Amino acid sequence: MERRTIGAAALEVGAIGLGCMPMSWAYTGSRQRGEESVRTVHAALDRGSTLLDTADMYGPFTNELLLGRVLKERRADAFVSTKCGLLVGEQHVVANGRPGYVKRACDASLRRLQTDTIDLYQLHRADPEVPVEETWGAMAELVGAGKVRALGLCAVGARATRRGGAGLHAGTLRQLERVQQVFPVSAVEAELSVWSPEALGELLPWCESRGVGFLAAMPLGNGFLTGTLTPGQGFEPDDLRARHPRFTAEMMAANQSIVAGLRRIAARHGDEVTPAQVALAWVLGRGRHVVPVPGAKRERWAVENAGAAELRLTERDLAEIASLPRARGSWD
Ligand SMILES: NC(=O)c1ccc[n+]([C@@H]2O[C@H](COP(=O)([O-])OP(=O)(O)OC[C@H]3O[C@@H](n4cnc5c(N)ncnc54)[C@H](OP(=O)(O)O)[C@@H]3O)[C@@H](O)[C@H]2O)c1
């Protein structure tokens, strides 16, 4: 697989990574496929998808434990990205950016992951009670201590600011400017996909101009862009899509034309090519600093998704994607 080099620390990773969240968290059936998930991680590594994206919060903790089983045997093949700063409470998640907590969280992640070093340590969400420079400073000390190689900021929670319409990433950009004064940001993780292209506006250019890598979360639109979901199929209550406005039966039906477009493009590239691969190839093409991290717990998905690194979209394909209807269903 093609390799990409990201961030000030010149981190080298396979062009397509593996999002490990669905193996333990937020998707139907997450907890029932532990053994298959382990095989999925091996399959991804075998195909050059070196970047494994997790967080202490996924599970909570069980996703890191699962990855630890693989890393124990294959640490040299993998690039480990994990996150700190969010705790799972009774009703909702709570941010904790206190320096002492961050250092303890790192030690705990290292133990669960069965490794001495985390390649990319990300702040999952800034704590409104703690100046972000203080949290980032503690994370920088972890780099100094050799526990972490590089730092990243996860901006997926930026959805909360979307209510104002424009300026989805304005708060993230302010945070990035602040933490850059303390220690270099090597990567930003945020949503980017055919049906959620907002990061192309300001966030992606910000990263590109500063040599910061961009990890594209949810590049498959939480599975929708793969064309394997049926409008009205329903989701278990603990599946994030059960409350997602784009996953009501009505919105899934309304957004089928997006999947149909990806399917048409895939068909032009051959019988074996899938809408998921077209969606990933589009994300890959947004810049040399972009690394999609499609989530998957099934081995066949990880193999299929890694195969997208070989797909080259034509000008005609790109024009068709640009003319697809805007996705219906918003958080407003
Ligand atoms: N979602 C968030 O809020 C969030 C936040 C921060 C970071 N991230 C990171 O971003 C990663 C990716 O986001 P995501 O996992 O939420 O969404 P995603 O990558 O857009 O979609 C994942 C879903 O797509 C399905 N899938 C994957 N490949 C497929 C294929 N080729 N054909 C059919 N279905 C396929 C998976 O099914 P199976 O599960 O059945 O394999 C899973 O349900 C996460 O794993 C995590 O590391 C996500």
**CATH code of 11's domain:** 3.20.20.100
Kindly tell me if the per-residue pLDDT of 195 is higher than 80: yes
Smallest CA-to-CA distance from 36 within 22, 46, 50 is with: 22
Nearest CA to ligand 1 atom 21: 222
Is 185 part of any domain? yes
- Percent of the chain at pLDDT > 90 equals 83
Is 304 part of any domain? yes
The confidence band for 31, taking pLDDT boundaries of 50, 70 and 90, is: low
Cα separation, 202 vs 175, whole angstroms: 14
Instruction: Label the pairing between strands 213-217 and 187-191.
Output: parallel
In what helix (H) or strand (E) does residue 217 lie, and over which residues does it extend? Answer: strand 213-217
Take residue 14 and report the two structure tokens written for it: 């396979």
Whether 276 lines ligand 1, by a CB cut-off of 6 Å, is yes
Could you tell me the distance, in angstroms and rounded to a whole number, from the CA of residue 146 to the centre of ligand 1?
A: 31
Nearest CA to ligand 1 atom 41: 296
Take residue 270 and report the two structure tokens written for it: 């051959």
Mean pLDDT of 126-150: 97
Is 277 part of any domain? no
The DSSP code for 318 is H
Nearest CA to ligand 1 atom 33: 226
What pLDDT sits at residue 82?
98
Please identify, by atom number, the ligand 1 atom nearest to the C-alpha of residue 295: 15
Nearest CA to ligand 1 atom 29: 301
Is the CA virtual torsion 201, 58, 246, 295 positive or negative? positive
Kindly tell me if the per-residue pLDDT of 13 is higher than 70: yes
Q: Tell me if 17 sits within 8 A of 213, measured CB to CB.
A: no
Q: How many domains does the chain have?
A: 1
Is 20 part of any domain? yes
Kindly tell me if the per-residue pLDDT of 285 is higher than 90: yes
Kindly tell me if the per-residue pLDDT of 164 is higher than 50: no
Any alpha helices (H) in the chain, and if so which ranges?
Answer: 34-46, 62-74, 99-113, 132-144, 170-180, 203-209, 249-254, 256-268, 275-284, 299-307, 315-322
Could you tell me the distance, in angstroms and rounded to a whole number, from the CA of residue 193 to the centre of ligand 1?
A: 11
Is 127 part of any domain? yes
Instruction: Label the pairing between strands 148-154 and 118-123.
Output: parallel
Could you tell me the distance, in angstroms and rounded to a whole number, from the CA of residue 92 to the centre of ligand 1?
A: 21
Kindly report the average pLDDT of the chain as a whole number: 93
What pLDDT sits at residue 332?
65
Whether 196 lines ligand 1, by a CB cut-off of 6 Å, is no
Take residue 51 and report the two structure tokens written for it: 């970047």
Kindly tell me if the per-residue pLDDT of 38 is higher than 60: yes
Residues pairing with 19 in the sheet? 53, 295
Smallest CA-to-CA distance from 152 within 118, 199, 104 is with: 118
The confidence band for 158, taking pLDDT boundaries of 50, 70 and 90, is: low
Mean pLDDT of 129-150: 97
Q: Which residues contact 260 (CB under 8 A, 6 or more apart)?
A: none
Is 180 part of any domain? yes
Whether 64 lines ligand 1, by a CB cut-off of 6 Å, is no
User: Given ligand 1 and candidates 120, 156, 192, 222, which is best to mutate, with the most ligand atoms within 8 Å of its CB?
Assistant: 222
What pLDDT sits at residue 161?
43
Is 243 part of any domain? no
What pLDDT sits at residue 16?
98
User: Given ligand 1 and candidates 21, 162, 282, which is best to mutate, with the most ligand atoms within 8 Å of its CB?
Assistant: 21
The confidence band for 165, taking pLDDT boundaries of 50, 70 and 90, is: very low
Whether 21 lines ligand 1, by a CB cut-off of 6 Å, is yes
What pLDDT sits at residue 163?
43
What pLDDT sits at residue 43?
98
Backbone angles phi, psi at 57, to 5 degrees: -70, -25
Active site (annotated) includes residue 58: yes
Q: What range does the domain containing 68 cover?
A: 3-220+286-309
Kindly tell me if the per-residue pLDDT of 107 is higher than 80: yes
Nearest CA to ligand 1 atom 48: 217
What pLDDT sits at residue 9?
79
Whether 17 lines ligand 1, by a CB cut-off of 6 Å, is no
Nearest CA to ligand 1 atom 31: 301
Judged by DSSP in three states, 295 sits in strand
Smallest CA-to-CA distance from 162 within 208, 216, 201, 206 is with: 201
Bigger pLDDT: 34 vs 250: 250
Residues pairing with 152 in the sheet? 122, 187
Is 22 part of any domain? yes
Whether 217 lines ligand 1, by a CB cut-off of 6 Å, is yes
The residue behind tokens 């209550």 is 237
